[in-house]
Structure 1
Amino acid sequence: MEVEATRAAAARLSSLAARLRRRTGEPERVARFLIRCTFTLIAEALGLAARGGMAALVGRAIAAPDGFAAALGELWAALIWPGEAAALVATPALALRRGELVELYALTEAPWGEIDPVIFGDLLLGALGPGERRRLGAHFTPRAYVERLVALVVDEPLRADWARVQDETLALRSRDEAPAAGRAVRAFLAELAAVRVLDPACGAGNFLVVAHESLRRLEDEVLSFLGADCRESAERAVTPAQMIGIDRSGWTCEVARLVLWIAGLRAGPRGASQRATIVHADALLSPWPPATFVAGNPPFLGKSRLRASLGESYVARLRACYDSAVPESADLVMYWWHRAATLLESGQLRRFGLVTTNSVTQIYNRRVIEGFLRRGAIHLVGAIADHPWVDGPRGAAVRIAMTVAAAGRGDGRCIRVRAGGDEAVERGIISADLRVGVELASARRLLANGGLAGAGVMLGGRGFLLPASAGQESGYVRPIVNGRDVLQRSREVRVIDFTGLSEAAARSAAPAAFERLVAAVQPERARNSRAGRRERYWQFAETMPTTRRTIAGLSRYIVTPETAKHRVFVFVDGAVVPEHPLLAIALDDAFHLAVLSSQIHRLWARANGGTLADRPRYNKSVCFETFPFPACEPEPRAELAALGERLEACRRRLAAAGWTITAMYNAPPAELQAVHAEIDHRVAGAYALAGDGSEAAVLSGLLALNHRRAAEEQAGAIRWLRPR
């Protein structure tokens, strides 16, 4: 019932807010007015003000709208607000028209006593936010998701403490030391009252509300035990004042204060009079208040969007503040992770847990985690590598990871959410890739694989592209493919490629193609903030010279999209230019294509490369350069090469019949399944691994082989993948 009531109330707020914003053009004033109205209605529902006062006032005003603002002002002046509500005293009443009053009256009939503060904050941000980011009511982060993290961070260690206190108390009572038993329980109650929970990116305050509720439930149990087993009583001590939030948005801070005020009201008079500390600040650049636990959901912002979203100067300050402790290629959330881990490592926190995007397992993000785990001062006590989530007021459905850390060394629980929603739990030492038992971070890059894989070019302007019918003018107009061409339908385009030529040489070599770039690329490049791209407009933004040199001279080479639902490897013609985000692998032997296409390699790639949203990501340094190819005798090697050719031929036949690569692997036809099954069987045999071996066994075997190969290479024996 709470979810439906909360959604309905927020939807009505959204409708009225939108109407008032359109009329007044003052979104901030409208938002504050409606928040104060919300305070009033909740206070009435929970008995802190006379019930029905607001409804009666609005009902009278519908007949005489001119007197509404003054009457509401008098009502607000007569109310004595406890705690945080006093902050809204300066908010004046808005003069409303009759239709607006009718909408407000409908709001007074909502069941405000049933509002769930955990989801109300998210919905309120959308309802009253000045930007009106989305239609309200469709999305909020489910309470159960927030509760899951708070249970691991806050509830679990405190309940372990309480279990020890109970054992101590029962032991004391068995020795007829009842006063000492009572003191032990009271001491624990004092410890609960001293707990501080910090959310350094608090948003609407969801995690703080759930943490407050968690402390209250435990306090209830302790008080009950004190009365039943110790024959003593004590006053409640847990209040919202133990909750601390930080947020960059002043508006969001106001919503968080309201949400925590609601939570306090629901907890009783003492809770209503004690306010949480919500700090309007940048948590990445300012000190964090002292806390026992940290739990939260920092902003989801990938490394490629940092400058565009936050600005060059802010990113420069951020980099300077952290002095390279966080890799420049890491996502923004890893700065929060580093900050929390630093506090934990120094003894200033007991435990922390953060929600991050599931790209935390990608190499540049997990390096932050690896550094702390390697030193041994902290360990992961809980991890979920892939979990559904809703990204706050934007309502975006994403896949996230949860990581919970405590001080020292130790084991943890790694939870895998399977298709269909059921879960598997593994216990043991959790590594930075959020796995138990296989320390893949220790895999070494192999010299044998080095220099063979590279990213495709980045054009930096669609003006480089021409239709396939365009001539090849002196060889400078070439075929090009990107990930979409490989996985879906080919664009059938060519690219003007002046890589390595000066402006004069390019103009001379292919005048018509050069003039195309002057008209279609130079105006766009003239606005580019990077001088090199502005000045060398006839060149690709990133020419990837190493990749181009490596594939040069090959009649064909292997490509795979960096991020894709299905990990596929295909051959392309040697004359084709690979475009980012396609990864080029400079191997033309179908033996390598077969091994890369096997289930064994897919397991290695997925485990090492991490994911972006719900799509596996292939990182050349940890997926390809660490992968130990099997050492095959000539006959089995030739058999695998024949299977690689058979795989290519099968996919070409299917493509000719209208299948895309994505369609082939979404619902593989029988002939494709058959060739992959044979590849999987032969590759498993080449490694002497059972075809039905567990994922952990396969990864452990590959990791051990990687270590042996690395040792061989140190001794000078290198099994080059491509003859030198």
Structure 2
Amino acid sequence: MNTIEIEKSLEQIAQDVAAGACTLHDFPFRLMEAYDASRNEVTKLRMKHPAGLAATDILWPKKMLYRPAAPGEVQNVVEALKASLVGKKGAAAKNAPRFLVSTDGDEFLAVDIKTGESPGFDRLADLPVNYDYLMPMFGVERYKPAAETTADVRAARHMAKFHDAILDANPGFGVDHVHDLNLFMTRILFCMFAEDTGIFKKKLFVDTLRREAMQIDGSDTRRVIEDVFIALDIPVEANRAGAGVQSRRIATDFPYVNGGLFRDRTAVPVFNRRARRLLLEAADLHWDQIHADIFGSMIQAIVHTDMRADFGMHYTSVPNIMKVLEPLFLSSLREQLTIAGDSVSALGKLVDRISKIRVFDPACGSGNFLIIAYRELRRIETEAFRRIRDVKRKGQLALPDYHTGIKISSFYGVDPVDFACETAKLSLWISQYQMNQKLGEICSSPAPALPLTDAGSIRVGNALRIAWSDVCPSDPASEIFIVGNPPYLGRPKRTADQQDDMAAVFSAEPGVFGNLDYVAAWFARAADFGRLTGATAAFVTTNSLFQGEQVPLLWPLLRSKGAEYSFCYTPFKWSNSAAKNAGVICVIVGLRPISNRPKAIFSIEHKIAASNVNPYLVDAPDIFVERRSSSIAGLPEIELGSAAKDAGHLSLDTQEMEALLDAHPEARSLIRPIYGAQEYLQGDLRYCLWISDDQLALASSIPSIAGRLRLVSEARAKSTKASTAASAAWPHRFNEIRHRDEPFLIIPRICSERRSHLPCGFLPEGTVATDQAFAVYNAPTWLFSIVSSRLHLDWTATVGGRLKTDYRYSNTLVYNTFPLPSLSAQQKTELEDHALAILRAREPYIADGRSLGWLYNPETTPDELRQAHRDLDRYLETIYIGRPFRDDTERLEHLFKLYARHSKPKNS
């Protein structure tokens, strides 16, 4: 089935219908043909339903039930088709259709009976570009979300369509009334959830819409919704008419909600036919199946259209949120619950402690962290209540009425996006109701659903510019926990406003923030807030804050504020599958005022008690690694490769090189092979013009080379960097030359994080290394073993920083700081033997055309190469501690301790 042909066929059908060349009766047959249905099947159905037949419904068994509509009646026709499926197995019948379809020649509607979805368009002319919507009718299913989020995804998609329909009906509403639109969407969501969960009477909202908003064109829908919103905010029924409620039935039927949700009188948008239809369809969904913890983020995607491509992937996953909350405070509460056992007194103290907890997310978005924290606290409290109830029941004591002491007003958030804040409030209300229902299972007097309590602790604003104590006030009896997933953003990606944010946060340390990630500002603010209030914090963040040059910038600053790292999760790949997150390595780090309380390091597999969590997030002394101009272990000097800065004009591929030599054999002495990381790892042969001053006359006599030199000069002259512009005067030379005419050990500057060892190797004299690689000239063979070891890779990954997820090697920060015991002559000889074993294992594959990238891809690494590296690691690690290390954690702990012994510690 060719999708291009489908689009073209559908375009032709839409044009023919508009021109009268295709009747509404013939439309479904043309539709079948467009999707490549068999000719026999189409012919049989045409014969069964000839033009002029009194019964106009056309049933294609298991596929489609079609009925043409009079102008403006498409929605009513589809509703009638739905009604025709009720009873006698209906939609579950053997030949029940997948789609109910109708068109009046202009409007188009097709409801998917299996999923309950309707299209995000309502004009026949829009069908060609949305051809995939009907693909399930022809055996090709659309994306199916994970089972646990199906209801949320469906709801989010419906609300996205509704949101767009409202904007279509209200041009300029999204610009002039952003807050009004956001609040309107939030209120609509609440009403639909409330009628499906028992907060309102069953289907009160949707039945009211069907009864009172009867105009198909939507012209009276706005008035009905205005009445509902006003009624929900007026506690006394008799006062509702005076407040503006026109319908006496609405004034009578709807309960008082409170909580501030309907307090403000904001503009309600007008409706058109499509907006009314989509609202009614959305209200028919099962809102009681919504997960409050992820629903908020999905609904937030409604107003951010760039997030809609993959509903369900743009939120912090619940497992990741729990990695933050558990070690920060939940595990302490669960431990207290376990110790309390069935002691009513101890359980009462736990319940009292929980009631005083405050949770603050200064980058709250739609409230995921707050919602999960609220839910988990309620679960622990409810379990405590259950145990107290059981003890009193056994003792035949009067059972108390249990009321939660956890207020949603104790959950604080800040976010710059208005709709995110409104959604966070709504999600907290939903979570409160759901947890009250759980409490009601053990409680003789469950908390009433209404009126809502006020959730006014979520504030619109910039968390880096407002006082956190104004948002989340403290008192001596409260415990404050700061949580969240703040924006990361390295320096190149920050906006001017974000640069100003950083300058404001680090105003007392003006030289610090330049090379720090944006998220560092949240760590600094949390340290300040913790010093004032005793609050502890935990954030999800990129691991770049704890690697490379950022460590000596951030760590001394946090220590000066009296803060320390209390726990961490070792780096893990971000679990969401959205493409934008694919290149992010994350850590979770706890920050608290300095104390003697226990510390821990978590990995995916286990938790390890730590004597310390150092600035690189390993159990080692509080030191940080700074750049060095020479090796701390006395290793041979290392150089960065040469930089051409030639706009590519000194570079030649194999074909260009051969063409040049065919025309000018005398140019051979001007050409050399050149290697950077890409060329070395992937086996891409590349060459360069390497022209000494005494060869300039020869080079200039060759027209093609002279032309290249002229282009180099022009490109350099345009540079804004003074040194590069100056080098326009000698375009025959590389801009930065660090080359020696000697063989060298090459180390790629960038290496995939999937590799278990750094691929390095020896290159002959006459080869040039670019500035995308490092070179150790005349390197001893044993040095290959040091650089190729697992120990060296772990050091690189920890102190060297990363480019996205890839390892970023550094001469000053990795090679020169790598701690190595003094090696005997015998040990160097043994290391040479291991180096030669690795090179021998690689040789036949390289001769066969395999690249080093292939050899060190964990999915394709040959067994003999893998074993050669294991043998090397086992021997080298024995030099360090007399045996192989247990894991990477032990490797790093030992390396840092050795580094501390060989260098002066830099403490705050």
Q: CA deviation at 1:43?
A: 2.7
Q: CA deviation at 1:48?
A: 4.1
**CA distances 1:372-398 after superposition (whole Å, capped 9, x unpaired):** 786795444331112343569886244
Q: Does 1:34 align with 2:210?
A: no
Distance 1:485 1:33, change over 3 A: farther
Q: Does 1:413 align with 2:594?
A: no
Contact 1:2–1:115 (Cα < 8 Å) also in 2: no
Q: CA deviation at 1:629?
A: 3.9
Moved more, 258-267 or 7-16: 258-267
Distance 1:495 1:279, change over 3 A: farther
Find the counterpart in structure 2 of residue 383 from structure 1. 568
**CA distances 1:386-440 after superposition (whole Å, capped 9, x unpaired):** 23435698862443211123331343221111xxxx4454544322222235777
**Per the alignment, in what secondary structure is the counterpart of residue 267 of structure 2?**
coil
Tell me which amino acid in the other structure corresponds to 2:619.
Answer: V
Q: Does 1:83 align with 2:259?
A: yes
**Per the alignment, in what secondary structure is the counterpart of residue 105 of structure 1?**
helix
Match among 876, 891, 894 for residue 683 of structure 1? 876
**CA distances 1:191-210 after superposition (whole Å, capped 9, x unpaired):** 54333211111111111111
Find the counterpart in structure 2 of residue 111 from structure 1. 286
Q: CA deviation at 1:626?
A: 2.3
Find the counterpart in structure 2 of residue 260 from structure 1. 428
Contact 1:216–1:238 (Cα < 8 Å) also in 2: yes
Find the counterpart in structure 2 of residue 364 from structure 1. 549
Find the counterpart in structure 1 of residue 225 from structure 2. 72
**Per the alignment, in what secondary structure is the counterpart of residue 363 of structure 2?**
coil
**Per the alignment, in what secondary structure is the counterpart of residue 323 of structure 1?**
coil
Find the counterpart in structure 2 of residue 178 from structure 1. none
Q: CA deviation at 1:213?
A: 1.9
Tell me which amino acid in the other structure corresponds to 1:385.
Answer: T
Find the counterpart in structure 2 of residue 588 from structure 1. 779
- Report the Cα distance in structure 1 between the residues aligned to 2:561 and 2:271, rounded to whole angstroms: 62
- Report the Cα distance in structure 2 between the residues aligned to 1:467 and 1:379, rounded to whole angstroms: 53
Q: CA deviation at 1:618?
A: 3.6
Distance 1:304 1:539, change over 3 A: farther
Moved more, 456-465 or 480-489: 456-465
- Report the Cα distance in structure 1 between the residues aligned to 2:263 and 2:846, rounded to whole angstroms: 66
Tell me which amino acid in the other structure corresponds to 1:257.
Answer: K
Distance 1:701 1:67, change over 3 A: closer
- Report the Cα distance in structure 2 between the residues aligned to 1:253 and 1:455, rounded to whole angstroms: 49
**Sequence identity of aligned pairs in percent?**
20
**Per the alignment, in what secondary structure is the counterpart of residue 328 of structure 1?**
helix
Tell me which amino acid in the other structure corresponds to 1:71.
Answer: V
TM-score w.r.t. the length of structure 1 is: 0.79
**CA distances 1:266-294 after superposition (whole Å, capped 9, x unpaired):** 34547832214122222223321335110
Tell me which amino acid in the other structure corresponds to 1:253.
Answer: C
Q: Does 1:284 align with 2:464?
A: yes
Tell me which amino acid in the other structure corresponds to 1:413.
Answer: A
Q: CA deviation at 1:68?
A: 2.8
Find the counterpart in structure 2 of residue 503 from structure 1. none
**Per the alignment, in what secondary structure is the counterpart of residue 45 of structure 1?**
helix
Q: Does 1:217 align with 2:379?
A: yes
Contact 1:62–1:102 (Cα < 8 Å) also in 2: no
Contact 1:140–1:392 (Cα < 8 Å) also in 2: no
Q: CA deviation at 1:688?
A: 6.6
Find the counterpart in structure 1 of residue 299 from structure 2. 124
Contact 2:324–2:588 (Cα < 8 Å) also in 1: yes
**CA distances 1:335-382 after superposition (whole Å, capped 9, x unpaired):** 2122212332x2513321111113343133444664378679544433
Find the counterpart in structure 2 of residue 194 from structure 1. 356
Contact 1:681–1:691 (Cα < 8 Å) also in 2: yes
Contact 1:293–1:349 (Cα < 8 Å) also in 2: no
Structure with larger Rg = 2
Tell me which amino acid in the other structure corresponds to 2:296.
Answer: G
Q: Does 1:8 align with 2:161?
A: no
**CA distances 1:3-32 after superposition (whole Å, capped 9, x unpaired):** 321122112223343455567665565655
- Report the Cα distance in structure 1 between the residues aligned to 2:325 and 2:863, rounded to whole angstroms: 47
Q: CA deviation at 1:82?
A: 2.1
**Per the alignment, in what secondary structure is the counterpart of residue 321 of structure 1?**
coil
**CA distances 1:635-654 after superposition (whole Å, capped 9, x unpaired):** 55345335535644654542
Contact 1:247–1:253 (Cα < 8 Å) also in 2: yes
- Report the Cα distance in structure 1 between the residues aligned to 2:166 and 2:433, rounded to whole angstroms: 28
Find the counterpart in structure 2 of residue 205 from structure 1. 367
Find the counterpart in structure 2 of residue 348 from structure 1. 533
Contact 2:187–2:262 (Cα < 8 Å) also in 1: no
Q: How does 1:50-61 map to 2 (within 5 A)?
A: 50-56=201-207, 58-59=209-210, 61=214
Q: Does 1:336 align with 2:482?
A: no
Q: CA deviation at 1:612?
A: 5.9
- Report the Cα distance in structure 1 between the residues aligned to 2:772 and 2:283, rounded to whole angstroms: 54
Q: CA deviation at 1:592?
A: 0.9
**Per the alignment, in what secondary structure is the counterpart of residue 219 of structure 2?**
helix
- Report the Cα distance in structure 2 between the residues aligned to 1:293 and 1:36, rounded to whole angstroms: 30
Contact 1:383–1:413 (Cα < 8 Å) also in 2: yes
Q: Does 1:63 align with 2:216?
A: yes
Distance 1:224 1:587, change over 3 A: farther
> Which structure has the highest helix share of the two?
1
**Per the alignment, in what secondary structure is the counterpart of residue 309 of structure 2?**
coil
**CA distances 1:643-666 after superposition (whole Å, capped 9, x unpaired):** 535644654542342212121112
Contact 1:139–1:395 (Cα < 8 Å) also in 2: no
Distance 1:142 1:323, change over 3 A: same
How many equivalent pairs are there?
Answer: 676
Name structure 2 gaps, 5 residues minimum. Answer: 1-146, 234-256, 437-447, 475-479, 662-666, 694-699
- Report the Cα distance in structure 1 between the residues aligned to 2:882 and 2:277, rounded to whole angstroms: 72
Match among 473, 480, 484 for residue 296 of structure 1? 484
- Report the Cα distance in structure 2 between the residues aligned to 1:206 and 1:162, rounded to whole angstroms: 25
Q: How does 1:97-108 map to 2 (within 5 A)?
A: 97-98=273-274, 100-108=275-283
Q: CA deviation at 1:553?
A: 4.7
Find the counterpart in structure 2 of residue 494 from structure 1. 688
Find the counterpart in structure 2 of residue 272 from structure 1. 452
Find the counterpart in structure 1 of residue 861 from structure 2. 668
Q: CA deviation at 1:115?
A: 1.5
- Report the Cα distance in structure 2 between the residues aligned to 1:409 and 1:25, rounded to whole angstroms: 60
- Report the Cα distance in structure 2 between the residues aligned to 1:652 and 1:62, rounded to whole angstroms: 79
**CA distances 1:674-700 after superposition (whole Å, capped 9, x unpaired):** 543453355346557324665555555
- Report the Cα distance in structure 1 between the residues aligned to 2:626 and 2:893, rounded to whole angstroms: 11
Match among 232, 247, 250 for residue 418 of structure 2? 250
- Report the Cα distance in structure 2 between the residues aligned to 1:686 and 1:117, rounded to whole angstroms: 55
Q: How does 1:235-634 map to 2 (within 5 A)?
A: 235-266=403-434, 267=436, 269=449, 272-289=452-469, 290=473, 292-306=480-494, 309-310=495-496, 314=500, 317-318=503-504, 320-321=506-507, 323-324=509-510, 326-344=512-530, 346-367=531-552, 370-371=555-556, 377-390=562-575, 396-397=581-582, 398-407=584-593, 408-417=595-604, 422-423=605-606, 425-436=608-619, 441=624, 446-449=631-634, 452-453=637-638, 455=640, 462-464=647-649, 466-468=651-653, 469=656, 480-490=674-684, 492=686, 494=688, 512-517=707-712, 532=722, 538=728, 548-549=737-738, 551-565=739-753, 566=755, 567-572=758-763, 578-579=769-770, 581-585=772-776, 588-609=779-800, 614-634=805-825
**Per the alignment, in what secondary structure is the counterpart of residue 353 of structure 1?**
strand
- Report the Cα distance in structure 1 between the residues aligned to 2:403 and 2:378, rounded to whole angstroms: 12
Distance 1:46 1:601, change over 3 A: same
Contact 2:182–2:419 (Cα < 8 Å) also in 1: no
- Report the Cα distance in structure 2 between the residues aligned to 1:132 and 1:536, rounded to whole angstroms: 47
Q: Which has the higher contact order (CA 8 A, sep 6+)?
A: 1
Q: CA deviation at 1:114?
A: 2.3
Contact 1:126–1:393 (Cα < 8 Å) also in 2: no
Distance 1:651 1:50, change over 3 A: same
**CA distances 1:35-92 after superposition (whole Å, capped 9, x unpaired):** 3321221232344444424423554647343333333333333333422422664131
**Per the alignment, in what secondary structure is the counterpart of residue 140 of structure 1?**
coil
- Report the Cα distance in structure 2 between the residues aligned to 1:75 and 1:383, rounded to whole angstroms: 49
